[in-house]
Amino acid sequence: MKAVVVGGGAAGMTAASRIRRLQPTWRVEVYEETPYVSHAPCGIPYFVEGLVRDKDELITYSPEFFRKKRKIEVFTNSKVLKIDHKAKKLTVLNSGREREVSYDKLIIATGAKPFIPNPKWLEVEKVFTIRHIEDGVSIRKRISKDKEVVVVGAGYIGIELSEALRKLGKRVTLVEAMDQIMPMFDKEVALDIEEYMSKRGVKIRKGEKVVDISQRRNGVLVETEKGSYKADSVILAIGVKPNVDLALMAGARRGETGAIYVDDRMWTGVEDLYAAGDNVEVLNLVTGRRSYMPLAPLANKEGFVAGDNVAGGSLRFPGAVGSAITKFYSLEIGITGISEANARKLGFKVKSVYISHSSKAHYYPGSKWIKVKLVVEEGSKRVLGGQIIGLEGVWGRISALAIAIQNEVKVSDLFFADIPYAPPFSPVLDPLIVAARVAR
């Protein structure tokens, strides 16, 4: 039996490893377009900043590791061009030569690519996107002498890169199409984040969709619906689109979000064809709808489930609530479940609270501010979402909340959640518990 995985990122390598674990005698092959597998694109902003010194540190395991230790045949610099799933054959391009590869079972883990409204923008010198390690290498090298950088898109990458660029001493203008930064957060939380970022020198321009980017004699001109900005370099961080072409060619179909449809076994509905990672949509456990959540922890778990099922296991991927965390300087920013605005858009009747508290007992030295927003469904009193920002202690609290939301906890149960306390870690009633008490 031979299993082939297309794509050597988080989902693909996890799937291949799971197949190897369950089926020691099968042949397992991975085809990856770039020179890397098991790479960590989430680390690129920290590489640009210089916090991560060497690009190799962003690679969890090398192709040699997989070949030698896991007996997985990894083919890098190998682009899959065509898939004929009826004949169970794919065509691979490597060093200018095409060859055919046969398989019995196929997993497509081709991930996502940066959304680019106009491909011409990328022809402009010093306009960058972020997806692969090489993008980070190129940015770090080519912007080193630049003074003025425009970052387009105030989502996760935009926030993380703004920190990196400010720490490198650049003047940063962050341009966002929506009327708030971090549109996945509610407005009042986004305003707090904006205030913090502005104080650290990021010039924020909201409600300005970028409509054109062009070359000028001494740099790049970014034109928005409202104005224009001159820069030495521009980084586009305006979201991603699922890479669905190969999966569609193999016979899979798109779901309602435009990403590949898979069931809870990561099965596409076509015999022996599975998909996992940033190219698929999954069930949102809060809304009950299909949702596109291109996030690294989910890709890893989806790959594990896909590999398990391909190898004869019966693991199920239950869905996700959409938890994410990031930071800008000392400001930690976490979210789980759905925002109040999104909940209302989807027809939920909700109430919300947004409370301020401190991260430790008030008398304990070094206590920092922290704010918690809870979104609660009227009637059922189920917690649908939470957003936490503050100068410390966000990760643990948003994690606790994520588990609560995933288990459909009511706000009164959250108030009685028996989370631990000692003065160095939290006030006697934790900010999360206080938010639940107010929301009750």
Nearest CA to 386 out of 371, 404, 400, 374 is that of 374
Token digits of residue 2: 């031979």
Whichever of 183 and 303 has its CB closer to ligand NAD, that residue is 183
Closest approach of ligand NAD to the CB of residue 197, in Å: 14
Closest approach of ligand NAD to the CB of residue 278, in Å: 8
Closest approach of ligand NAD to the CB of residue 239, in Å: 4
Whichever of 156 and 274 has its CB closer to ligand NAD, that residue is 156
Closest approach of ligand NAD to the CB of residue 16, in Å: 23
Whichever of 157 and 331 has its CB closer to ligand NAD, that residue is 157
Token digits of residue 440: 């009750």
Token digits of residue 385: 């979402």
Whichever of 236 and 250 has its CB closer to ligand NAD, that residue is 236
- Binding residues for ligand NAD, rule: CB under 6 A, are 42, 117, 152-158, 175-178, 183, 209-210, 237-240, 294-295, 324, 326
Note whether 22 and 119 are within 8 A (CB).
no
For residue 251, what are the contacts with CB-CB under 8 A and spacing of at least 6? 85, 268, 270, 273
Whichever of 82 and 203 has its CB closer to ligand NAD, that residue is 203
Name the residues annotated as catalytic: 42
Whichever of 4 and 151 has its CB closer to ligand NAD, that residue is 151
Tally of CB atoms within 10 A around 120: 12
Q: What angle do CA 400, 404, 406 make, to 5 degrees?
A: 115
Note whether 256 and 2 are within 8 A (CB).
no
Nearest CA to 130 out of 101, 110, 107, 151 is that of 151
Tally of CB atoms within 10 A around 399: 14
Closest approach of ligand NAD to the CB of residue 208, in Å: 7
Residues in the chain: 440
Closest approach of ligand NAD to the CB of residue 435, in Å: 22
C-alpha span between 271 and 80 (Å, rounded): 20
Whichever of 1 and 295 has its CB closer to ligand NAD, that residue is 295
Note whether 160 and 45 are within 8 A (CB).
yes
Closest approach of ligand NAD to the CB of residue 205, in Å: 9
What is the DSSP code string of 27-81? EEEEE-SSS-SSB-GGGHHHHHHTSS--GGGGBSS-HHHHHHHH--EEE-SEEEE
Cα 108 off chain centre by: 18
Cα 355 off chain centre by: 27
Cα-Cα-Cα-Cα dihedral sign, residues 305, 294, 104, 250? positive
